Structure 1
């Protein structure tokens, strides 16, 4: 379990550092030219690369909603749920802390005013989308993310392609939802940056735990009882 939780710590660290780091630095630097498309790709690449690097150790969850969705889908033991989630949240916070130290190297940086790549709805949604819109999109996208994960890692799926499918799915998820919530589908990612934003992001954090977890479990149950081959 120590090796597995260490893999989850480093995998989630890389996801937050690479994904949120791209949003904090490159996407806000016009000369970089990556925009939100580049941010979406960055999130997908973090999962793809770490799934290849440590997926054989821990399964490559890097996300409490994925861990709980895999448990709901019958793919993960309940005894590993809490240790995995603790490791994921810790890895995300560690990455956000290093991002904060780097960002503070620029004169005038203020994590509260900047938003620190946090997730939000209403006036804190990048596109001004409502609470209802945020709930729907986070629920649907996390549900489908877990369906992709279950399907890509099924014993009947093409061998070796799971990291690619999952990484591209996360890229697509971000392309769809960055304007709505700045894309969570991952409570550890949301918690990590919300702690440093410190105000509205913490007040709205409940949604980015509750909805992705519910969506992930629904996705796991759909695959387990409707899509998975019984043999």
Structure 2
């Protein structure tokens, strides 16, 4: 249960920061989002693995470092936290009318590819810096994970909204930032990106690292 609580807390503050920064039109929103993810990963990584993202949990499941029961519980905690954080962020900022992002035509495919690619990058980084025995007890994992999200948000935020996370996408839709009619775009793209990252890690990692049992600390 401690792991699920940590996942709820970390995801809550990630989505809260996304909402407050974007609704408040903060100029350096991607940096704030990457920073809060970094700090929450450092805060809870030793307990739950610091996923805070259903796509990352899916990647870790494909990689074989978390069981199905835990994965489902992680997803429940992450989604619930995302919805609650979205409501709190909208109440705090109290923005005026918000135009929901609703890609169409070529923009829809561009958004899907952008979300899939940077979710892949995020999950691939997590697997390599936080689940590999080659990097056991390193001190840079939170920084690497946070800056991957910041880089993605700066690079393609204007194309796809820069969610890279189903919980963030659902929270954004709850806040009116993403169109509910297109929510499938973000859900499919991010889960595909996470799943492919898990498969890629299994291929490139050494057999011993890929098949290792679930550790007691970061997953």
Shorter-chain-normalised TM-score: which range?
Answer: 0.7 to 0.9
SS class of match (1:62)? coil
Q: Which residue of 2 aligns with 1:155?
A: 133
Does the aligned pair in 2 maintain the 1:152–1:162 contact within 8 Å?
Answer: yes
Residues 177 and 183, structure 1, Cα contact 8 Å, conserved in 2: yes
Correspondence 1:48-87 to 2 at 5 A:
48-87=38-77
Cα distance in 2 between the residues matched to 1:190 and 1:147: 20
Residue deviations 1:73-120 (CA, integer Å, cap 9, x gap):
11221111111111001111111111121223xxxx44xx314xx654
Residue of structure 2 aligned with 1:228, choices 184, 189, 205: 205
Whether the 8 Å contact between 2:7 and 2:48 is mirrored in structure 1 is yes
Residues 84 and 188 of structure 1, relative CA distance in 2, 3 Å threshold:
same
User: Given the two structures, how large is their TM-score scaled by the length of structure 2?
Assistant: 0.88
The count of residues paired between Structure 1 and Structure 2 equals 206
Query: Which SS does the other structure have where 1:206 is aligned?
Result: helix
| Aligned match of 1:192 | 171
- Give me the whole-angstrom Cα distance separating, in 2, the residues matched to 1:120 and 1:190: 12
Asked whether the equivalents of residues 44 and 170 of structure 1 are also in contact (C-alpha less than 8 Å), the reply is yes
**CA 1:119–1:164 in structure 2 vs 1: closer, same or farther (change >3 Å)?**
farther
**Contact 2:54–2:74 (Cα < 8 Å) also in 1:** yes
CA spacing shift, 1:87–1:180, aligned 2, 3 Å? same
Unaligned ranges ≥5, structure 1: 28-34, 124-128
Judge conservation of contact 1:71–1:78 (CA < 8 Å) in 2.
yes
Matches within 5 A, 1:115-134: 115=99, 120-122=102-104, 130-134=107-111
3-state SS in 2 of match to 1:121: coil
Check 1:26–1:197 CA distance in 2 against 1; reply closer, same or farther (3 A cut).
closer
Task: Please state how far the C-alpha of 1:26 moved relative to its aligned partner.
Answer: 4.6
Provide the aligned C-alpha RMSD in A.
Answer: 1.8
Q: Give the gaps of 5 or more residues in structure 2.
A: 209-219
1:44 and 2:34 equivalent? yes
Q: TM-score, normalised on structure 1? A: 0.83
